[in-house]
């Protein structure tokens, strides 16, 4: 009988521990495989920052095996034991957005199309004619329920670009959204969306918001608050200074416009036969944020009757004084012809349209005074020239007149003195004895 011999057998046992394993799994190196997953949205674009969790679908579907976060290109990598079934779940902002149930992993695996329920929202704002509206303020509000049954609210603010659109990338498709649209700070539309699925097309949810058109009634009155007909009313976009509409007021001083909700500059122009020019009368800014809006514009400088009165040193009217006028148009002073002259009462009328004027008064060819002023009401501009005094209907320099009067007074007093002296001598002679 041969003695028993024991052969030495080396048993190499490798324990491979995968992070987040809920139960220890013993595996040799050849049992570990590489699994790469790329998450994409509904538009097949890579998603960065998505948390991917791996579950043991072979023995315990609730057992978390491993988890990782996708990189900038949407990829995440796991090392898993092969010949097992795994489930994969994707979470975005702590809400489940995708799943891959019971995936058989038998070798190195690449899953490059793990689709997540995230879509782009494109909002376009247009007017009723279909033209895009830039610089519209949009506030996007929504809330979602996390895996822990917590409701999380979110608010984002945007402004539409030149083409009237904004894009909000990678939004949850099962969330409820509210979009508020404002123009120049005033709300004109609120859109509510109960989930994006009904709007989805190729991974995009396209939303169009139409800004309404409202009616603006403009009533024009002159300086006396009487209706102002036949003047031009121009409506300009407040932000771009673009002419939107232009109308001429009717015989009741009214003009009607239909404009998109927003803020506008209203400019009023009239024509002056005296000045032979188109004259700016008034402007105002209006927020057209309600329909059938009534706007009254008071053109104070139209149909006024100002005048100039020229008086002398003693306050007497000076007739035939020459009145030269200049009016400023934009940044240029323009002389108004023909020149005016005062009447027998020393008065000369001025143009019936006010504005910035430069008034120069001449007496016998000499410039007495120049005054720059803004006319917007009916009034008399008094020019008192102390250089002249009226004598027998003729203007004489006051200094000369004073000299003349002084000489006359001196001569008169001297004559009176002589007469008084002679009279005294006569009286004294009569009193003396003969």
Which architecture does CATH list for 307-395?
Sandwich (2.60)
Using the predicted structure, report yes or no on whether residue 425 has a pLDDT greater than 90.
Answer: no
Mean pLDDT, rounded, for 12-28: 42
pLDDT one-digit tens code per residue, 72-129: 999 999 999 999 999 999 999 899 999 999 999 999 999 999 999 999 999 999 999 9
Quick one: pLDDT at residue 391? 82
The three-point CA angle 17-19-20 to 5° equals 120
The CATH number of the domain covering residues in 29-115: 2.60.40.10
pTM exceeding the 0.85 threshold for the entire prediction: no
Mean pLDDT over the full length of the chain? 88
CB 371 within 8 A of CB 381: yes
Secondary-structure class of domain 214-298 per CATH: mainly beta
- Which pLDDT belongs to residue 100? 96
Which residues, listed in sequence order, are joined to residue 176 by a DSSP beta bridge? 143, 194
Mean pLDDT value across residues 215-226? 96
Task: Give the domain ranges of the chain.
Answer: 29-115, 118-211, 214-298, 307-395
Residue 325 dihedral angles phi and psi, to the nearest 5°: -120, 140
pLDDT digits (tens, 9 = 90+) for 31-69: 899 999 999 999 999 999 999 999 999 988 889 999 999
Averaged pLDDT for residues 159-183? 96
Q: Which residues contact 74 (CB under 8 A, 6 or more apart)?
A: 38, 39, 40, 46, 47, 48, 50
**Common-topology check for domains 29-115 and 307-395:** yes
Q: What percent of the chain has pLDDT over 90?
A: 73
d(CA 123, CA 391): 84
Mean pLDDT of the region 138-142 = 97
Specify the pLDDT at position 393: 77
Q: What is 118-211's CATH number?
A: 2.60.40.1120
């Amino acid at each position: 009988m041969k003695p028993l011999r024991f052969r030495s057998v080396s048993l190499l046992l490798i324990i491979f521990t995968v992070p987040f394993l809920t139960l220890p799994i013993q595996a040799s190196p050849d049992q570990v495989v590489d699994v790469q997953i790329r998450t994409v949205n509904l538009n097949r674009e890579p998603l960065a920052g998505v948390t991917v969790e791996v579950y043991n679908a072979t023995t315990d579907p609730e057992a978390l095996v491993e988890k990782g976060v996708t990189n900038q290109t949407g990829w995440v990598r796991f090392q898993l034991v092969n010949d097992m079934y795994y489930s994969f779940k994707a979470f975005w902002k702590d809400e489940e957005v995708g799943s891959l149930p019971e995936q058989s992993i038998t070798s190195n695996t690449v899953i490059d199309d793990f689709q997540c329920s995230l879509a782009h929202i494109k909002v376009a704002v247009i007017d009723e004619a279909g033209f895009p509206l830039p610089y519209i303020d949009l506030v996007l509000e929504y809330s979602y329920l996390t895996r822990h049954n917590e409701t999380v609210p979110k608010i984002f603010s945007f402004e539409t670009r030149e083409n009237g659109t904004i894009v909000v990338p990678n939004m949850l498709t099962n969330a409820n959204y509210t979009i508020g649209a404002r123009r120049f700070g005033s709300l004109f539309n609120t859109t509510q969306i109960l989930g994006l699925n009904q709007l989805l097309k190729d991974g995009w949810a396209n939303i169009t918001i139409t800004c309404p058109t409202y009616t603006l009634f403009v009533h024009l009155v002159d300086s006396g608050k009487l209706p102002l007909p036949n003047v031009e009313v121009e409506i300009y976009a407040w932000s771009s200074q673009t002419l939107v509409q232009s109308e001429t007021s009717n015989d009741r001083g009214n003009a009607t416009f239909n404009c998109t909700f927003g803020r506008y500059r209203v400019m009023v122009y009239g024509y002056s036969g005296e000045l032979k020019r188109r004259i700016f009368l008034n402007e105002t800014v209006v927020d057209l944020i309600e329909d059938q809006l009534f706007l009254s514009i008071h053109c104070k400088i139209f149909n006024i009757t100002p005048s100039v009165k020229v008086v002398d040193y003693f306050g007497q009217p000076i007739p035939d004084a020459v009145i030269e006028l200049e009016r400023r148009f934009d940044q240029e002073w323009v002389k108004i012809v023909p020149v005016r002259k005062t009447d027998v009462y020393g008065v000369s009328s001025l143009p019936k349209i006010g504005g910035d004027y430069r008034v120069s008064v001449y007496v016998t060819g000499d410039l007495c005074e120049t005054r720059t002023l803004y006319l917007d009401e009916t009034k008399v501009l008094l020019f008192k020239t102390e250089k002249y005094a009226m004598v027998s209907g003729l203007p004489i320099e006051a200094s000369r007149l004073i000299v003349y009067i002084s000489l006359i007074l001196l001569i008169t007093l001297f004559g009176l003195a002589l007469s008084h002296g002679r009279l005294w001598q006569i009286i004294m002679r009569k009193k003396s004895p003969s």
